[in-house]
Structure 1
Amino acid sequence: MSVPSPKIDRPTVLIVDDEPANVQVLGEALTGQCDVRFTTRADDAVMLAARFNVDLILLDLVMPDRSGFDVLAALKADPACRDTPVIIVTAMSDLLDEEAGLSAGAVDYITKPFNPSIVRARVRTHVELKRQRDQLAALADLDGLTGIANRRRFDQQLDLRWRQAARSQGRLALVIADVDHFKQYNDYFGHGPGDQCLRAVAEALRSAVRRADDLVARYGGEEFALILGTDELERQLSGLLRAVATLALPHPRSTSGDIVSLSLGAIEVAPTSGRGPDHGLSAADALLYAAKNEGRNRGVCRLLDGSEARIVNPGEPNDDHTY
């Protein structure tokens, strides 16, 4: 299993303060240590934090368009930035305000006027702590056998991407795949070779996906789950099947051929707020069983165009078959 490397480029810090002079002083304090983004509009904080994938936020509490406490609550409610550390930098020096800020989720509280060296030191400390947490979280999200994402990671990403697609009226494709006759493979070769088979299949699937944000996960046992883009979905599925077939792993006990093969079900979905990810997964799972009933070593997919579910083979997509 590969261990993810910590982020080593300069951290990105977002300054949220309605006073340009404060933004300038904070920006100058962090010059050379961080890439600085800023906004004087409190309402833009969540959008910018998510867009730039910031490592830390410096947040004022007193702003004309929105309270800093409201901004902090919005940041903590958004999945894209809920774990981003927030340091409050404010002229409000009352201990009750500091307690309220820390209780609301801020990691630190700096009062104005501030010492630039103190700001630099605290930013450096909290960025490093975040990177350590990110690395531990990444390890917790990996499958111990195959090194790809595990079910926990898949479920988290699916929930996030489902809601993002619902907001943007976007589409995504969900795939459930299963190694054909894997129990018989284990019975014939033993669990050691069975584990090697799963590693090889996982790597083949990971190498076959196209986009940087495509996700391949081990969903459990010999089952894999994927989140893909919807462009040329049938061709993508054919490529996944072909990638596993190309491994040419002998499987004497398979009734679907003499090598290890894959069956998969795939559904193109346009998420809505009225239906959750479980709806898409259930549909993909039903299509997986349709592929098994058709003889395995193939996929069955359903597109949004209203056409019948289609059979996909390891070669090029076959336009002559519907299910």
Structure 2
Amino acid sequence: MSEETQKVLIADDDGINRQVLATLLKQDYVVLLAKTGEQAIERAQRHLPDLLMLDVMLPDMDGYEVLRRLRADPATAHIEVIFITGMGRPEDEAKGLKLGAADYITKPFNTTVVMARVATHLEVVRQRRMLQHLAHMDGLTELANRRRFDEIYQSEWQRAARHGHALSVALLDIDCFKQYNDHYGHPAGDRALRAVARAARGAMRRPCDVAARYGGEEIVVLMPETDAAQALHVAESIREAVAQMLVPHERSIAGPVLSVSIGGATLPPGGEESAPALFESADAALYRAKQAGRNRVNWRM
């Protein structure tokens, strides 16, 4: 998980307030600025900050309405919000907290308090994201787990269908893995599976490409906006990378070293194949690769 600098969006129509807060925070965080509620919403949607410091009184709408609109959008619903206000009434604070704000900071600012509260809330955000990351990860291979893959696959299939993009999926299976475990032992089998996972991950060239452990010795690779020829090249590069590791496998019927069979399928641009059907096509292609002698790629074009 990358340790990127956290982002703070400051939404306040007072230029002095914006400057004071930006000066305080810019040494430790990426600081974004907005002067109106519409700007705050647009920049929150575009940059997805970790924290929004939101003035209650803005020229075009109040901060409560900004918060309502952010919470109504799944893309921005998770953003932590601290209200900044010159109003000290308990009912105003309660209103913001009921809408989902995490905290209130009152004007004029106490710089020590501001820094402490911002740091506290951003640490909560960091820990929450770390837990989410771990919940989506397979502990052995450090690839995405099946549950996470299923979520991404459904989302990417819907996006491909909506925009008419290609979508490719590949299923990878370690050849004669049971025999490998029986002969070399399960600790060696775990090391082999991790090595194959690294080979699959190494073939991913874009952030949108996903490699996941689907179950047992099976790994699935998802490649959005990738046609069959491009996906076949990626699959073949994974197969070659595994073969070139030269891990001995005396009990394999596919050859003297560890190898993989890969089956894949592509939803062409404008294709209408359902998400389950596309996955089943990749599974059928994997079966054909095994039947043809293993250590090969079979692609449903």
TM-score (norm 2): 0.80
Checking the alignment, whether the CA contact within 8 Å between 1:166 and 1:270 is kept in structure 2 is no
After TM superposition, list the pairs within 5 Å mapping 1:241-320 onto structure 2. 241-269=239-267, 280-301=278-299, 309-310=300-301
Aligned to 1:89: 84
Q: Paired residue for 1:234?
A: 232
1:94 Cα deviation from its structure 2 partner: 3.6
Whether the 8 Å CA contact 1:176–1:284 is kept in 2: the answer is: yes
- Where structure 1 has 5 or more consecutive residues not aligned to the other structure, the ranges are 302-308, 311-323
- What percentage of residue pairs aligned between the two structures are identical? 44
State the shift of 1:203 in Å.
1.5
Answer yes or no: is 1:188 the counterpart of 2:188. Answer: no
Instruction: Identify the match of residue 198 of structure 1 among 169, 173, 193.
Output: 193
Alignment of 1:98-177 (within 5 A): 98-158=93-153, 161=156, 171-177=166-172
Distance 1:264 1:31 in 2: 48
CA gap of 1:143–1:294, structure 2 versus 1, over 3 A, is same
CA spacing shift, 1:187–1:276, aligned 2, 3 Å:
same
Q: Deviations over 1:267-321 (max 9, x none)?
A: 444799x9986565444334433433444323333xxxxxxx24xxxxxxxxxxx
- What is the distance in 1 between the residues matched to 2:95 and 2:231? 50
* Separation in structure 2 between the aligned mates of residue 210 and residue 87 of structure 1, nearest angstrom: 37
> Aligned to 1:263, what secondary structure does the other structure show?
strand
How many residues in Structure 1 have an aligned counterpart in Structure 2?
297
Cα deviation, residue 195, structure 1? 1.4
* Runs of 5+ unmatched residues, structure 2: none
Using a 3 Å threshold, how does the CA distance of structure 1 residues 28 and 249 change in structure 2: closer, same or farther? closer
CA distance in 2, matches of 1:271, 1:113: 57
Shift of 1:31: 3.9
Equivalent position amino acid for 2:66 in 1:
V
Provide closer, same or farther for how the CA distance between residues 182 and 13 of structure 1 changes in structure 2, counting only shifts above 3 A. same
* 2:244 aligned counterpart, secondary structure: helix
Residue among 30, 37, 44 paired with 1:42 = 37
Q: Which amino acid counterpart does residue 135 of structure 1 have in structure 2?
A: M
Cα offsets for 1:59-104 (capped at 9, x unmatched): 2344454553343344345555443322122345443332232233
CA drift of 1:198 comes to 0.7
Give secondary structure in 1 for the equivalent of 2:114. helix
Q: Which amino acid aligns with 1:185?
A: Y
Distance in 2 separating the partners of 1:47 and 1:291: 49
Give the direction of change, closer, same or farther, for the CA distance of 1:85–1:189 in structure 2 (3 Å limit): same
Change (3 A) 1:137 1:17: same
* C-alpha contact 2:210 2:223 (8 A) present in aligned 1: yes
SS of 2:117 mapped into structure 1: helix
RMSD: 3.4
Task: Return the alpha-carbon distance in structure 1 between the equivalents of residues 140 and 182 of structure 2.
Answer: 19
Q: TM-score scaled to structure 1, two decimals? A: 0.75
Given that residues 12 and 35 in structure 2 are in contact (C-alpha distance below 8 angstroms), is that contact kept between their aligned partners in structure 1?
yes
How far, CA to CA, are the matches of 1:75 and 1:271 in structure 2? 33
